[in-house]
């Protein structure tokens, strides 16, 4: 399994297109919706301003992606407007996805001449601006594909220098991250992790901390906890959850859960409902 698939197999993202057409004037998006937003500009000029003061003007076919729940406004000319496709982005396991936590505040790319991004966007625009059966389902799935293409570009560019996304592009660390993501239930000692990377224990620990900004043990515990949260949200039995994420029983998992979150698993589950 490749590096990106090792994450998405556990923590997928889903697009729900809520607007496609010509926008004139202003549209506001609050930061209390618990979702990200994806805006694809086909034509026209669009100004995007976040509540934190970030501002960009798009005048060529472009995408702007706010992975996190971010308050922002879109402004377009009241005469010609802007042709847009807008989608809400939700994450499996809600805001507890390590993928979400690893992404920056905003991603912005021009589409023209941008390989798979441009091709995927063309398919979206072609489907969104016509009236055909199944259109809504098709553009949602096309946006899912588009988002994976965006994440692939982020990895290929190596623009994120620290954290999980940086680790996934590291020639040695990526080997152990894929294995941890695939098999969190395995007994992962420092020696076992270092061996997967072909490094000494000390060099592995130092490299891991420098690139990912966590110790290997902390990263492993956080990944296991993220997977456990996803399973707990499905109301799975705690002992079964524990076995799937590398703990002997539900009590052992509950102790780590409380240490990391300050809540017992049942308390946390109630807070999510």
Query: pLDDT, tens digit, for every residue of 3-56?
Result: 888 888 887 788 999 999 999 888 999 887 778 999 999 999 999 999 999 999
Query: Which tens digits make up the pLDDT trace of 191-241?
Result: 999 999 999 999 999 999 999 999 999 999 999 999 999 899 888 999 999
Q: Calculate mean pLDDT across residues 165-180.
A: 93
Query: Which tens digits make up the pLDDT trace of 78-109?
Result: 778 899 999 999 886 656 677 787 888 999 99
Query: Is the pLDDT score of 177 beyond 90?
Result: yes
Residue pair 172/85 in contact by the 8 Å Cβ criterion: no
Q: Where in the chain is the domain with CATH 1.10.10.60?
A: 165-271
At residue 126, the 3 state secondary structure works out as helix
Query: Which tens digits make up the pLDDT trace of 242-266?
Result: 999 999 999 999 999 999 889 999 9
The residue assigned the tokens 């509540």 is 51
Instruction: Report the alpha-carbon distance of residue 36 to residue 99 in Å, rounded.
Output: 13
Does domain 165-271 fall under CATH 1.10.10.60? My reply is yes
Query: Is the pLDDT score of 144 beyond 70?
Result: yes
Q: Where in the chain is the domain with CATH 2.60.120.10?
A: 3-157
For residue 156, what pLDDT is reported?
A: 87
DSSP string for residues in 5-49: HHHHTTS-EEEEEEEEEEE-EEEEE-S-SS-EEEEEEEEE-EEEE
Identify which of 7, 150, 144 has the alpha carbon closest to the alpha carbon of residue 65.
150
Instruction: Report the alpha-carbon distance of residue 41 to residue 110 in Å, rounded.
Output: 9
Residue pair 67/165 in contact by the 8 Å Cβ criterion: no
For residue 79, what pLDDT is reported?
A: 79
Residue pair 44/52 in contact by the 8 Å Cβ criterion: no
At residue 71, the 3 state secondary structure works out as coil
The CATH superfamily of 3-157 is Jelly Rolls (2.60.120.10)
For 183-234, strand residue ranges (E) read none
At residue 169, the 3 state secondary structure works out as helix
For residue 80, what pLDDT is reported?
A: 84
Q: Calculate mean pLDDT across residues 157-174.
A: 88
Helix 115-128 and helix 135-157: axis angle, to 10°?
160
Instruction: Report the alpha-carbon distance of residue 47 to residue 159 in Å, rounded.
Output: 24
Number of other CB atoms surrounding residue 262 within 10 Å? 9
Query: Which tens digits make up the pLDDT trace of 60-76?
Result: 999 999 999 999 999 99
């Amino acid at each position: 399994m490749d590096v990106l698939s090792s994450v998405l197999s556990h923590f997928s993202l889903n697009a729900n297109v809520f607007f496609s057409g010509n926008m004139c004037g202003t549209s506001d998006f609050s930061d209390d919706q618990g979702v990200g937003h994806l805006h694809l500009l086909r034509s026209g000029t669009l100004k995007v301003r976040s509540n934190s003061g970030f501002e960009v003007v798009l005048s060529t076919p472009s995408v702007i992606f706010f992975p996190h729940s971010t308050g922002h406004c879109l402004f377009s000319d009241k005469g010609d407007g802007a042709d847009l496709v807008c989608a809400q982005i939700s994450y499996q396991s809600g805001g507890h996805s390590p993928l979400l936590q690893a992404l920056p505040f905003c991603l912005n790319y021009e589409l023209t001449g941008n390989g798979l991004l441009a091709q995927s966007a063309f398919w979206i625009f072609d489907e969104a601006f016509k009236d055909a059966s199944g259109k809504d389902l098709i553009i949602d799935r096309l946006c899912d594909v588009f988002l994976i293409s965006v994440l692939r570009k982020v990895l290929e560019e190596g623009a994120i220098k620290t954290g999980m996304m940086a680790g996934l592009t590291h020639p040695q660390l990526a080997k152990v991250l894929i294995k941890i993501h695939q098999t969190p239930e395995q007994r992962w000692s420092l020696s076992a992790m270092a061996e997967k990377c072909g490094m000494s224990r000390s060099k592995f620990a130092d490299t891991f901390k420098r690139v990912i900004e966590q110790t290997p043990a902390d990263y492993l515990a956080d990944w296991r906890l993220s997977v456990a949260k996803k399973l707990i949200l499905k109301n799975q039995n705690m002992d079964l959850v524990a076995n799937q994420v590398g703990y002997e029983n539900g009590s052992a998992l509950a102790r780590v859960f409380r240490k990391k979150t300050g809540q017992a698993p049942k308390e946390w589950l109630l807070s999510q409902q």
